Every structure is written in C-alpha cells, then in structure tokens.
Amino acid sequence: MKYLLIFIVVIVALMLHKKNRAASDQLSRQRRDGQRLSPPEPMHACTHCGVNVPASRCVWDAQHRPYCCAEHARKG
Ligand SMILES: [Zn+2]
C-alpha cells in the first residue's frame, strides 16, 4: 500500500512537470515568433528635449526634424 501511494505521487509529479514544460515551450515559441513578426523600430531624439521616441510616434516639422510631441514641435 505504501509503494502504491509513492507511485501515485511520482506519477502526479511527472504529469505536472510535463504540463509546465509544455506551457513554457509554447510561451518561448510565441516570444520567438513575435520577435520575428515585429522587427525593432528606429528611435529618434526629440529636437527640443532630446527624449528618444519611436519613429511611428514622432511629430515631424516642415524641415523633417523629429519631436516627441506637438507642443515641442511648435516650440522648435
Ligand atoms: Zn521633446
């Protein structure tokens, strides 16, 4: 009877370990795929205050200088 209990505990522990490992593998695979889909975005320093801003969020003036926000673009 004692060995049966130990056997059941070992089986449950192995099942939990396998489940955790499968979840971990899936998470790392999703991270890898996500990195492949979205390459790093270029950053630009705001001409007014110097804060780095992703290119897609920059505000550009007529001379094509990057700014972090419309207020800094207005101030120059
Ligand atoms: Zn700024």
21-55 residue pLDDT tens: 887 888 777 777 666 677 889 999 999 999 999 99
What is the distance in A from the centroid of ligand 1 to the CA of 57?
A: 12
* Mean residue pLDDT across the chain: 86
CA of 39 to the centre of ligand 1 (A): 25
Q: Round to whole Å and give the CA distance between 5 and 21.
A: 24
Query: Where in 1-76 does DSSP place strands (E)?
Result: 43-45, 52-54, 59-60, 66-67
44 Cα: distance to centroid of ligand 1 (angstroms):
10
> How high is the pLDDT of residue 61?
94
Q: Write down the residue that tokens 């396998």 correspond to.
A: 18
Rounded to an integer, the average pLDDT of 1-11 is 78
Mean pLDDT of 54-74: 96
State the pLDDT at residue 66: 97
Closest alpha carbon to 44 in 24, 72, 10: 72
Please tell me the distance between residue 62's alpha carbon and the centre of ligand 1 in angstroms.
16
User: What tokens appear for 40 in the block?
Assistant: 């790093």
